[in-house]
Amino acid sequence: MQILGILAFVVALLLSVMIHEFGHYLTAKRYGMKVSEFFVGFGRRIWSQQRGETEFGIKAIPAGGYCKIEGMTPGDEMPIGQEDRAFYKASSGKKLIVLGAGSFLHFVIGFVLLFTLFAGIGTTQVLPIIGEVMKGTAAQSAGIMVGDEITSINGKPVTNWYEDVMAIRESQGKELTLGINRNGEDLIISASSKLETIDGETRYLLGIVNETGLKRSGVFTSFKNAGIVTKDFLVESVKSLAKLPSKIPALWGQTVSGEERDANGLVGVVGVARVSGQAVSSDNLSAMERFGTFILIIASLNIFVGLFNLLPILPLDGGHMAVAIADEVRALFARLRGRPRPAAIDVTVLTPITMVVFVILAALTLLLLVADIVNPVILNL
């Protein structure tokens, strides 16, 4: 079962990469740029097919993918008569849209997955169904039974137990009229809450313990909740990226010295795949809860990857976007001085910086890979 979860993660990751690159492809074609290749994976070609001027295909190493847009730098040769279709000759606005389309679609994927989670699968909530009736309590005296579903409190329909239960806690011991559904039969039961002290907190209770389970939300509520959680994931991703350098020493210790891995620390692709496998194979979760947890993992991963890709460092898309913005800033200053627009910045000039960043990212990726293999993160699912 764990292998199934890992395979599902790999497929989901490759689909996310493909959608990311498809964002670049669609916007580049929309602005008349020449896209010569669209591949999932790297290395040796396994399969490819020419469609128009673009070769679509799959390569041997399933570690990402790419969309090759011709003319990324002034030094790239373009077919005769198609020089104006080079990427570097496009306006900065068009460049920003093409470069940002991949990350934008990661955010869309995350939002759609979260919407699916809320509307189609449901989230774990306290249900208005009685799982246990405590002895000697008001609930037992009133005849409330295990399996009863509370449908209303004082005539108000129960729609959200987290909110509706406050009517019981704020009743001050006054009699409550409860609508009960018992085996398909609707009943009305009167009960008065009693003041009880639990874990040092005193409040009015009936003496019932509710069941928990998955509950779907309506379309509007799901749309709203998906937006809220997407924003929360974005905020947490920003915080994680800000803390990333400070977490590297701890990761080194966890890798070399075998210290316990921090579940909130850095995790690589292999680690996330392993966690996905744990979620799918957990005996403590129902089949739908496993699927929901898997969806949540993929959604959060997409949002993080989308944001990470926008970092203003080469060779990430965000680095190329920063160059395009710098071009516009230079052009603005040139206009203010009454001078012609300067030539676009040639990113090949920044190759040394790009290589340094690449080496750092590669080293971090390797460290994460080793850590995820020799000292993996274990979740208590």
The domain segmentation of the chain, as residue ranges, is 1-34+70-122+219-381, 124-215
The letter for the amino acid at 168 is I
Which of 228, 230, 224, 223 is closest to 307 using CA atoms? 230
Q: Does residue 1 have a pLDDT over 70?
A: no
Q: What is the pLDDT of residue 4?
A: 79
* Type of residue numbered 279: A
Of 97-101, 242-246, 272-276, 285-289, the poorest mean pLDDT is in 272-276
Question: Measured between alpha carbons, how far is 165 from 208 in angstroms, rounded to an integer?
Answer: 11
Angle at Cα 23 formed by Cα 274 and Cα 33, nearest 5°?
Answer: 140
Overall size of the chain counted in residues = 381
Measure the CA–CA gap between 17 and 270, rounded to whole angstroms: 16
Q: Strand, helix or coil at 100? A: helix
Compute the average pLDDT of residues 72-88: 88
> What's the confidence (pLDDT) of residue 162?
83
Q: Measure the CA–CA gap between 133 and 149, rounded to whole angstroms.
A: 13
Active site residues: 21
Q: Note the pTM of the prediction, 2 decimals.
A: 0.84
Task: With H, G, I as helix, E, B as strand and everything else as coil, classify residue 1.
Answer: coil
Tally of CB atoms within 10 A around 348: 12
Q: Is 124-215 a domain of CATH 2.30.42.10?
A: yes
- What's the pLDDT at 369? 77
C-alpha 136 chain-centroid distance: 46
Model pLDDT for residues 271-311, shown as the tens digit of each residue: 777 778 877 777 777 888 888 989 999 999 999 999 999 99
Q: What is the band of 232 on the pLDDT scale with cuts at 50, 70, 90?
A: very high
Mind listing the pLDDT tens digit for each residue in 119-144? 999 988 888 999 999 888 888 989 99
User: How many Å apart are CA 118 and CA 99, to the nearest integer?
Assistant: 31
